[in-house]
Chain A
Amino acid sequence: MVHTIALAGNPNSGKTTLFNALTGARQHVGNYPGVTVEKKTGVYQIDGRQFSLVDLPGTYSMTAYSLEEVITRDFISTQKPAVVVDIVDASNLERNLYLTLQIIEIGVPVCIALNMMDVAKSRGVRIDAPRLSALLGVPVVPTVARNGTGKKELMAAAAQVADTYAGPKNLQISYGEDIDTALAEMEPMISRVEFLTQYYPARWVALKYLEADEQIVSAGRRADAQISEKLGQIADRVASHLNRTLDTDAESIIADHRFGFIKSIIRQGVIEVENEQNRLYLSDQIDKVLINRLAGPFIMAGVVFLLYHFTFAFSEIPAAWMESGFGVLRGLADSHMAEGLLKSLVISGIIDGVGGVLGFVPIILLMFLGITILEDSGYLSRVAFMLDRVFKVFGLHGSSVMPFIVSGGIAGGCAVPGIMAARTLKSPKERLATLLTVPFMNCGAKLPVFALLIGAFFASHKAWVMFAVTLMSWSGALAVAWLLRKTIIRGAPTPFIMELPPYRLPTVRGVLIHAWERTWQYIRKAGTVILAISILLWALMSFPGLPADQAATFGPGQEAALAGAELRHSVAGRIGTSLEPVTGLAGFDWRTNIALVGGFAAKEVIVSTLGTAYSMGEIDAQEASGLSQHLAQAPQWGPLTAFALIVFVMFYSPCFVAVVCIAREAGSWKWAGFSMVFNTVLAFVLAVLVYQAGSLLGFG
């Protein structure tokens, strides 16, 4: 039988580093069922035995308040891993043991990895591992995950625990007279009817009732409403007593006593400190500069700009290789296949679709490389720290900044990696609001559209209009975030209590594994859906074909006009034409409408579709000066129409690649649908306002 070993521990305790050291490249990243929290599994072999390793989310505690914590304790209690290896940061023992106690209390076999022994030593902290082990009743193995020291000993100890486990240990922490009395009353009640005891020890269940833990209380109510009611009454009695006499709640008392218990353990000769406790470490000295109130923001702007430049400048090269690769494929298909629908499907549906999926890969990979370096070094949390006050106003979080920047906060980003970058956000409401608003940023695909329109109608004020466009997208996105947080994602801000971890040099291996895993997930999960939608869009713009008698009226040399007529005849063309009476309010005719439908595939497609609709033949999005001149002279076009269109393109439905990513990151298609409908309605209202107000003021 293959034993499962679960790794648990605080964020920044070196848990993932240890996981990588143990499993190497043999790991698999998936999701926990129904949620977007990453689940990493891998395999470790020792002495011919195989273990399945699970890297649980990093947590500080085991409450029902956060998804990561609920997942961790559900996994431990229901999946019953053979051992839970708890990674404890030796340089930060007290706070890390708080989680350890809670894991031991769940009543599972535990083995402690006392990690970062090197850091502790350099800080003059000596820890007596055998003594700690004796006091806690579980094995304690010193490790240095960064170089793999102690990993064999750790796994041997874990295997030993799995083989010899003889039932839960009881630490018997005292929680003070009030709680202890209640526990003594509740425990036998729970044991007698085996209430939830197939998963948890009776004492733990009683504690959770006292803490008024929503998840356990509702599970209890489903299991046995009567006993649940009785336990609830005892908990209420204790709560009102504590409220009256001590002006506090049971949850706080329990937490305080856990720390009291840890202090009492540590005082029994576990730690020996040679130097003064509060001397400045290297990280504090770096922080004196990097989060300095004056210099900090400038350095941050520089770092953010570098990340941006790194991602978008370097991804151009591999993206160009891919582009020419797909160009070759397209050429092959073009010269070797007979004219007709199949050829069109292969070229416009499949090759362009696969190209579209893979075209994002360099950008996603580089973005994750950059962000992982910033995250692992500890700098990303400093960025969140410095900018939190600004984003808080709009109901967001300091960590929202990276998704916004990457999506095009500096014009030219991409919402797809931006949406994926929102994974660094741990507060659920703030995260959802970020996911839904980053597509308003000016991504690189909207730029050719803006360039076309600005070139045609605002050529003398290019820089100013571009600046206004950037400003508009930021204020629009933040205003919508604010609106969402006041309405459908309403709720108090998630408490912002964030560790600023010590600066560390990221390991090459850790960064590469992390960035590649996430990119691969995109290719595997999003890729298939994106290909399907791309074929669907191709069909929309190709069917039904123009009847032969009408097609015959276009002679040789009139291919461009024929393509225009075919497009108007297709489903997309009919949608565009039938919408004309409505979109006329914003100044858009049927040609613009078709182009906007095409823009759902990718925003730059708007330019080429406009070209086809104006019967100008193939238009390259980057080289559209002909189309630009054509528009400038077209009677139905003017600066006002162009501006209304810029506004619409900025705010309307994200391209479907982004929509698929929103669905995946928000964990539901509901939000993806919302972003398509809501954004399009919002964009239309804004465009109508611009067009109508402008017409009234005589700008038409």
Chain B
Amino acid sequence: MQLINMREMKERQSGKIAAIRARGEVSRRIRDMGLVPGTEFSIKGRAPLKDPVALRIAGFTLALRNSEADFIEVEVE
């Protein structure tokens, strides 16, 4: 069990959101899409130029830019 930044995750790796270190609009947008501490997800893939990243969450798929992923701390095995 260790904490890493979402950007460092590999494809198909899964993890659980530990913290979102953003404020204001960015924080709100991330949370409004269901990414809150405790949410489990896996990395579905990355775009051809490695950014954005696609996440697989229980019922849906989300894409976010690395610049947003940088705010998200993830607990991985």
Interface residues of A (CB under 8 A from B): 60-61, 63, 65, 89, 91-95, 98, 247-249, 251-252, 255-256, 259, 277-278, 283-284, 287, 291-294, 296-297, 381, 385-390, 392, 398, 493, 495-502
Contact = CB atoms under 8 A, between A and B. Distances in A.
B49 interface: yes
Given A249-B23, A497-B62, A497-B63, A255 B36 contact: yes
A499 B62 contact: yes
Contact of B34 (A94, A277, A388, A493): A94
Nearest to B71: A495
Contact of B31 (A89, A256, A283): A256
Contacts of A495: 25-26, 29-30, 64-65, 68
Nearest to A393: B49
Given A93-B59, A500-B62, A60 B32 contact: yes
A497 B20 contact: no
B59 A497 contact: no
A358 to B, nearest CB: 39
B47 A61 contact: no
Interface in B1-43: 20-21, 23-37, 42
Contacts of B56: 278, 284
A89 B31 CA distance: 18
Given A291-B54, A497-B63, A256 B37 contact: yes
A497 B65 CA distance: 7
Nearest to B65: A496
14 contacts: A60-B32, A60-B33, A63-B28, A65-B28, A94-B34, A95-B34, A255-B28, A256-B31, A291-B45, A389-B48, A495-B68, A497-B62, A497-B63, A500-B60
Interface residues of B, number: 39
A296 B54 CA distance: 14
Interface of B: 20-21, 23-37, 42, 44-52, 54, 56, 58-65, 67-68
B76 to A, nearest CB: 16
Contacts of B46: 293
Nearest to B39: A259
Contacts of B49: 389-390
B59 A385 contact: no
Contacts of A249: 23-24, 27
Nearest to B22: A252
A455 B17 CA distance: 62
A388 B65 contact: yes
B28 A94 contact: no
Nearest to A212: B24
A478 B8 CA distance: 30
Given A283-B61, A497-B33, A498-B64, A252 B44 contact: no
A496 B28 CA distance: 12
B32 A388 contact: no
B64 A496 contact: yes
Contacts of B26: 495
B61 A98 contact: no
A270 to B, nearest CB: 14
A458 B44 CA distance: 50
Contacts of A499: 33, 60-63
Given A98-B34, A291-B47, A385-B52, A65 B58 contact: no
A283 B35 CA distance: 21
B63 A385 contact: yes
A402 B48 CA distance: 18
Contacts of A277: 58
Contact of A61 (B24, B28, B45, B67): B28
Contact of A389 (B23, B44, B51): B51
Nearest to A277: B58
A389 B60 contact: no
A295 to B, nearest CB: 10
A259 B37 CA distance: 10
Nearest to A63: B28
Contacts of A493: 67
A496 B68 contact: yes
A501 B59 CA distance: 10
The 8 nearest A-B residue pairs measured at CB: A92-B59, A61-B32, A389-B49, A95-B34, A255-B31, A500-B61, A495-B29, A496-B65
Given A249-B24, A252-B23, A385-B52, A497 B29 contact: yes
A489 B47 CA distance: 27
Contact of A278 (B25, B34, B42): B42
Contact of B63 (A91, A256, A278, A500): A500
A384 B31 CA distance: 21
A388 B24 contact: no
A497 B45 contact: no
B48 A297 contact: yes
Contacts of B23: 248-249, 251-252
A65 B29 contact: yes
B58 to A, nearest CB: 6
A92 B60 contact: yes
Given A252-B23, A278-B58, A381-B63, 6 more contacts: A61-B28, A61-B32, A249-B23, A255-B32, A493-B67, A499-B63
